[in-house]
Structure 1
Amino acid sequence: MNIIETHNLCKQYGGALRVAHLDLKVPEGCVYGFLGPNGAGKSTTLKMILGLVHPTAGSIQVLGQEMKAANRLPVLRQVGSLIESPSYYGHLTGEENLRIVQTLRGLPEKNIQEALQIVRLDGQRGKKVAHYSLGMKQRLGLAAALLGYPKLLILDEPTNGLDPAGIQEMRELICGLPGRFGMTVVVSSHLLSEVDQMASQVAIIREGELVFQDSLAALHGRSRHHLALRTTDNGAARRLLKEHSVPWQEEAGYLILPILPDEKAARLTRRMGEQGLGVLRLEERQKTLEEIFLELTGKAASL
């Protein structure tokens, strides 16, 4: 079952379509990375899924039910979220902040201590939140989202502004949630390196449009090996490659070839030498995930 499905989801502000015909499918029990440059429409999409923003067109299903005014609250009781920055009362302790959420939602009191333990704040529960570090405030926001042990957890840029230690801590917490509690976690980010270490499923959007959606393994699969060849006369080299039925593309002074068996590569270089062609470079290359991300989202996109 897909925990979230959107069909032809659109959001227009003024004359601009910020989210365009989005079809998302979030499988149950995974960490789903929702990627895109800053301003691509990630937060707007998550707000529409949570019913915080009304779609211009399209439909949204969450936990098998269509999100609409009549059933929004019953559906959201099974959803936890942390959108943008966490909200808190600085003059209250972490425990007191969670108690307010627990009371408003009618949840068991024991959930407070359990949530604090999950996010490793049980030793700081009596400290005023104004004196928390940024990472501790993020973890308190996560604790509030976890209070009701939701089936679906939506986190918008949860590592934003954290130092490396805070990022590592948040990443470990998120990665452990599906296995420990059977939750499905949707994590938005503009950093591919972060999602690469957390997610099993990935969607990438650019200017509100979906440009990739599949498993992380499939995204890695696009990082194909190839050979890069540069000679003293690439024109003559192209003719020789054509004679041997080797496809090629030209890129920045190199001839880009598929991976060849060692014998065929040796035969080609020997023929080039016989024809007076100097092989300046023959190297094996592989696209990085960052390069694939840039190709999908546009060279000028911010990482």
Structure 2
Amino acid sequence: MEIIETHGLCKRYGDAMRVSHLDLRVPEGCVYGFLGPNGAGKSTTLKMILGLVHPTAGSIQVLGKTMDSANRLDILRQVGSLIESPSYYGHLTGEENLRVVQSLRGVPEKNIREVLQIVRLDGQRDKLAGHYSLGMKQRLGIAAALLGYPKVLILDEPTNGLDPAGIQEMRELICDLPRRFGMTVVVSSHLLSEIDQMADHVGIIREGELVFQDTLETLHSRSTHHLALRTTNDPVAQALLRDRGLPCQEEDGYLILPILPDGETARLTGFLAENRLGILRLEERQKSLEDIFLELTGKAASL
């Protein structure tokens, strides 16, 4: 079951199309990484999913219901969110802040104690929120989003500004939610390394357009191995290899070849030596996820 679906979702501000014909598919019970450079349209998309921004065109379904004026409140009762930065009253303690949200949402008072434990703030419940560190404020915001134990949790850049220890804590918390509570978590980020350690499914957006959407495993499969060869005369070597039926192409001063068995690689180097070509360098390489991300977001590449 798809917990969130969008069809042809668009948002235009003046002459600028910030989100263009987006078709998101978020499976139930997953951590969905919504990835893209700053300004790609991630926050605008999440705000439309939450009904905070009205789409220019397209439709949104959340939990099987269309997000519109008739269904919005019913949907949002089952959705928690933290968009951009957490809101809090600095003169109130962490627990008092959550009590305000608990009263507004009409959820049981015991949930306050439980969510403070989930986000590891139970030891800081009596401290003024204004004195919290940035990481503690982020966790307080997530605690508020969790108060009603939503079926869907939407987090916009939750690790922004955190130190390495805070990032690790946030990552562990997010990964734990689907397993412990059956939640579906949508988390946006501009950092591929973060999404790579949290998500099961990934959507990559570039200039408002979706350029990749599939499992993280499928994204990793694009990271293929190849051989990089440099000789004393690459144009001659390229011609000889092609005559031999071996596909290769020049790239940044190297000839790029497919991965070969060891025996075939040895025969290849011997063949080049017989033709008076010296082997200057032969490397096995693998395209990194960062390279793939830059191809998808920095060039006109799509799947």
Q: Same fold per TM (> 0.5)?
A: yes
Report the Cα distance in structure 2 between the residues aligned to 1:249 and 1:271, rounded to whole angstroms. 18
Superposition pairs of residues 32-181 of structure 1, within 5 angstroms: 32-181=32-181
Deviation at 1:66, TM superposition (A): 0.7
Q: Which amino acid aligns with 1:82?
A: L
What is the match of residue 252 of structure 1? 252
Structural RMSD (CA)? 0.9
Unmatched tracts of structure 2, length 5 or more: none
Is the contact between residue 249 and residue 256 of structure 2 (CA under 8 Å) also seen in structure 1?
A: yes
Secondary structure of the corresponding residue to residue 154 of structure 1: strand
Report the Cα distance in structure 1 between the residues aligned to 2:253 and 2:279, rounded to whole angstroms. 13
TM-score normalised by structure 1 residue count: 0.98
Report the Cα distance in structure 1 between the residues aligned to 2:169 and 2:191, rounded to whole angstroms. 16
Secondary structure of the corresponding residue to residue 55 of structure 2: coil
Q: Which amino acid aligns with 2:160?
A: N
Q: Which amino acid aligns with 1:92?
A: L
Deviation at 1:143, TM superposition (A): 0.1
Write out per-residue CA displacement over residues 190-227 of structure 1, whole angstroms, 9 at most, x where no aligned residue. 00000100001000000000000011011110000000
Deviation at 1:31, TM superposition (A): 0.4
Report the Cα distance in structure 2 between the residues aligned to 1:248 and 1:129, rounded to whole angstroms. 60
What is the match of residue 10 of structure 1? 10
Secondary structure of the corresponding residue to residue 117 of structure 1: helix
What is the match of residue 269 of structure 1? 269
Write out per-residue CA displacement over residues 94-120 of structure 1, whole angstroms, 9 at most, x where no aligned residue. 011000100001110000000101001
Superposition pairs of residues 142-291 of structure 1, within 5 angstroms: 142-291=142-291
Taking only the aligned residue pairs, the percentage that are identical comes to 80
Deviation at 1:239, TM superposition (A): 1.4
Report the Cα distance in structure 2 between the residues aligned to 1:293 and 1:249, rounded to whole angstroms. 22
Q: Which amino acid aligns with 1:152?
A: V
Q: Which amino acid aligns with 1:19?
A: V
Unmatched tracts of structure 1, length 5 or more: none
TM-score normalised by structure 2 residue count: 0.98
Deviation at 1:32, TM superposition (A): 0.4
Secondary structure of the corresponding residue to residue 245 of structure 1: coil
Report the Cα distance in structure 2 between the residues aligned to 1:145 and 1:126, rounded to whole angstroms. 19
Q: Which amino acid aligns with 1:78?
A: Q
Report the Cα distance in structure 2 between the residues aligned to 1:264 and 1:193, rounded to whole angstroms. 36
Q: Which amino acid aligns with 1:79?
A: V
Deviation at 1:61, TM superposition (A): 0.3
Report the Cα distance in structure 1 between the residues aligned to 2:235 and 2:131, rounded to whole angstroms. 67
Q: Which amino acid aligns with 2:235?
A: G
Report the Cα distance in structure 2 between the residues aligned to 1:52 and 1:110, rounded to whole angstroms. 29
Is the contact between residue 238 and residue 249 of structure 2 (CA under 8 Å) also seen in structure 1?
A: no
Q: Which amino acid aligns with 1:250?
A: E
Secondary structure of the corresponding residue to residue 69 of structure 2: coil
Write out per-residue CA displacement over residues 226-262 of structure 1, whole angstroms, 9 at most, x where no aligned residue. 0001000111101111122111111011000111122
Report the Cα distance in structure 2 between the residues aligned to 1:2 and 1:246, rounded to whole angstroms. 44
Write out per-residue CA displacement over residues 175-198 of structure 1, whole angstroms, 9 at most, x where no aligned residue. 100000000000000000001000
Write out per-residue CA displacement over residues 72-99 of structure 1, whole angstroms, 9 at most, x where no aligned residue. 0001100000000000000000011000
Structure 1 stretches of 4+ moved >3 Å:
none
Report the Cα distance in structure 2 between the residues aligned to 1:230 and 1:92, rounded to whole angstroms. 65
